[in-house]
């Protein structure tokens, strides 16, 4: 692990580019048509029609030369592959956990874990569940409860650790429901649903105390553990000289288990794992793994994937990389703030979240201000982002109608090692243009929306003309 104490103001990408891919350049006319065909759902747009893809930081990163070399070395044996043992060693070394179960991605770990826990009618508590985590908890019959820190929803006011859990509220809940009815606590590091904000070590320790007191297993959803650890180094007292690897190890020491979507901080395009010390639970998980993913030394992955994860888990702890990584999100966040665009402040680790409710106050939550901004960003700039608001998290009424979510955000996620500063300057320029013309952006209506994970497949349309809240003199956005 390097720690160069970079003395310059300009933080540079600590890599050079060996392979390039063209971007999808399209005209505004073409994008207007594509949006209509996609039913105003950007998950339905072909990636080759996207210029800058900020839909997600998941599985979209660039691997290193070392990882590609690992791909060539991958051992594809069905059982006991060398690559599995490299993978297992890397995870044990990082987490200190004993039972290492490979899965093809994070949600497979969630599905297996919550099925094995079999907690029908019981509760899982968290700082905030990610959407697939919540869906898997709920599909197992358990109930997912979020306890974000006070102030996490005060998006304008910066704070160092807005990803923390409200431990007092958690404890009151455990007391109210009885500890036997709370089957697990999941701490999501960083807290993706609330702005990619980090969780402090102090908070993790307080949560661990609570979990010990009431005998509740504590698991980390550690998709972005390295970014979280780096934030601890930057912001938490006593850690500024500690190597990030040691901070990460200290985080894992507090937990009884972990699940990871390796598509984030393992710097790969596919993969994940479940890790724990509880042998009985791991046996149940392995049985489910064999049923749905594959044998326990590959779990839905190729040997080459396991090899690349083993390398990525070490590379991600390079502090020059993390410095560049966190600075890139900050750079985008600062650029947007300069143009008066409200964001979740400070910027998160893996991206910047625009507060669409504040940016487009004329659009009601049930008309999806976040999704309206996402569509407009694509129309004007070919940029793809994702809504985290009523479309993703809105509860539904008896007729399937949407009820407003607590927030309306648009996440501009940063793929790892993919875009350069000029790409981000372009994104800032397009958003600055939208900010100047924001009152012309109209809302959307749902045409078709399944009840579970609806944002992936929902079909939408622009609000009917008479209902569209356009300021006097404003122009409808969707038609020319």
Q: Which sequence positions are flagged as catalytic?
A: 78, 130-131, 221, 223, 264, 455
Q: Is residue 221 a contact residue for ligand F0G (CB under 6 A)? A: yes
Residue pair 94/313 in contact by the 8 Å Cβ criterion: yes
Residue pair 111/136 in contact by the 8 Å Cβ criterion: yes
Q: For residues 247 and 301, which CB has a smaller minimum distance to ligand F0G in the complex?
A: 301
Taking the complex as a whole, the smallest distance from the CB of residue 176 to ligand F0G amounts, in Å, to 27
Residue pair 343/336 in contact by the 8 Å Cβ criterion: yes
- Mark 111-150 with x for binding to ligand F0G (rule: CB under 6 A) and - for no binding: -------------------x-xx-----------------
Q: Which of 162, 233, 263, 357 binds ligand F0G (CB under 6 A)?
A: 263
Q: Is residue 198 a contact residue for ligand F0G (CB under 6 A)? A: no
Q: Is residue 188 a contact residue for ligand F0G (CB under 6 A)? A: yes
Cα–Cα distance for residue pair 126/187, rounded to 1 Å: 5
3-state secondary structure of 123: strand
Span 201-220, contacts to ligand F0G by CB under 6 A: none
Residue pair 466/415 in contact by the 8 Å Cβ criterion: no
Cα–Cα distance for residue pair 450/389, rounded to 1 Å: 16
Tokens 């979240």 identify what position? Answer: 353
- Mark 56-85 with x for binding to ligand F0G (rule: CB under 6 A) and - for no binding: x-x---------------------------
Span 82-101, contacts to ligand F0G by CB under 6 A: none
* 284 DSSP β-pair partners: none
Taking the complex as a whole, the smallest distance from the CB of residue 351 to ligand F0G amounts, in Å, to 9
Quickly list DSSP for 219-242.
Answer: EEE-TTHHHHHHHHHHHSTT-TTS
Residue pair 343/155 in contact by the 8 Å Cβ criterion: yes
Q: Is residue 227 a contact residue for ligand F0G (CB under 6 A)? A: no
Q: Is residue 302 a contact residue for ligand F0G (CB under 6 A)? A: no
Task: Output the six-digit token pair for 79.
Answer: 């059982």
Q: Which residues of 100-111 are buried (b: 16+ CB within 10 A; e: fewer)?
A: bbbbbbbbbbbb
Q: Is residue 261 a contact residue for ligand F0G (CB under 6 A)? A: yes
Count the residues of the shown chain that bind ligand F0G, applying the rule CB under 6 A. Answer: 15
Taking the complex as a whole, the smallest distance from the CB of residue 383 to ligand F0G amounts, in Å, to 16
Residues that bind ligand F0G (CB under 6 A): 56, 58, 105-107, 130, 132-133, 188, 192, 221, 223, 261, 263, 272
């Amino acid at each position: 692990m390097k720690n160069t104490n970079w003395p310059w103001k300009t933080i540079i990408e600590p890599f050079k580019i060996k392979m390039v891919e063209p971007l999808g350049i399209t005209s505004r006319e073409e994008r207007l048509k594509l949006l209509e065909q996609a039913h105003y759902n950007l998950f339905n747009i072909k990636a080759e029609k996207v210029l800058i893809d900020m839909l997600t930081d998941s599985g979209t990163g660039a691997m290193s030369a070392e990882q590609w070399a690992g791909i060539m070395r991958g051992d594809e044996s069905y059982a006991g592959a060398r690559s599995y043992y490299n993978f297992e060693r890397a995870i044990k070394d990082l987490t200190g956990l004993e039972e290492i179960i490979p899965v093809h991605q994070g949600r497979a770990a969630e599905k297996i874990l919550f099925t094995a826990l079999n907690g029908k009618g019981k509760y899982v508590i968290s700082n905030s569940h990610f959407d697939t985590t919540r869906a898997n908890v709920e599909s197992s019959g358990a109930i997912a409860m979020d306890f974000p820190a006070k102030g996490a929803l005060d998006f304008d006011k910066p704070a160092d650790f807005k990803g923390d859990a409200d431990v007092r509220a958690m404890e009151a809940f455990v007391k109210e429901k009885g500890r036997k009815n709370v089957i697990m606590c999941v701490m999501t590091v960083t807290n993706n649903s609330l702005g990619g904000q980090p969780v402090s070590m102090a908070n993790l320790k307080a949560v661990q105390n609570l979990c010990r007191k009431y005998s509740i297993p504590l698991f980390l959803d550690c998709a972005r553990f390295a970014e979280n650890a780096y934030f601890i180094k930057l912001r938490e007292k006593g850690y500024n000289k500690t190597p990030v690897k040691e901070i990460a190890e200290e985080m894992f020491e507090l937990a009884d288990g972990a699940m990871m979507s390796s598509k984030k901080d393992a710097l790969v395009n596919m993969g994940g794992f479940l890790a724990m010390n509880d042998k009985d639970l791991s046996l149940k998980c392995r049985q489910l793994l064999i049923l749905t993913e594959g044998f326990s030394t590959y779990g839905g992955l190729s040997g080459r994937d396991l090899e690349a994860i083993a390398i990525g888990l070490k590379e991600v702890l390079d502090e020059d990389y993390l410095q560049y990584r966190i600075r890139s999100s900050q750079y985008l966040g600062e650029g947007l703030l300069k143009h008066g665009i409200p964001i979740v402040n400070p910027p998160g680790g893996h991206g910047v979240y625009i507060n669409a409710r504040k940016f487009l106050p004329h659009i009601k939550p049930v008309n999806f201000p976040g999704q309206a901004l996402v569509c407009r960003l694509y129309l004007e700039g070919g940029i793809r982002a994702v809504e985290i608001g009523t479309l993703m998290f809105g509860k539904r009424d008896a007729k399937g109608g949407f009820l407003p979510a607590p927030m309306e955000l648009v996440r501009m996620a940063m793929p790892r090692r993919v875009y350069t500063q000029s790409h981000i300057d372009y994104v800032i320029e397009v958003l600055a243009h939208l900010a100047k013309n924001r009152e012309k952006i109209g809302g959307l209506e749902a045409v078709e929306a399944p009840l579970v994970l609806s944002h992936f497949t929902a079909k939408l349309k622009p609000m009917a003309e008479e209902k569209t809240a356009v300021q006097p003199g404003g122009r409808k956005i969707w038609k020319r």
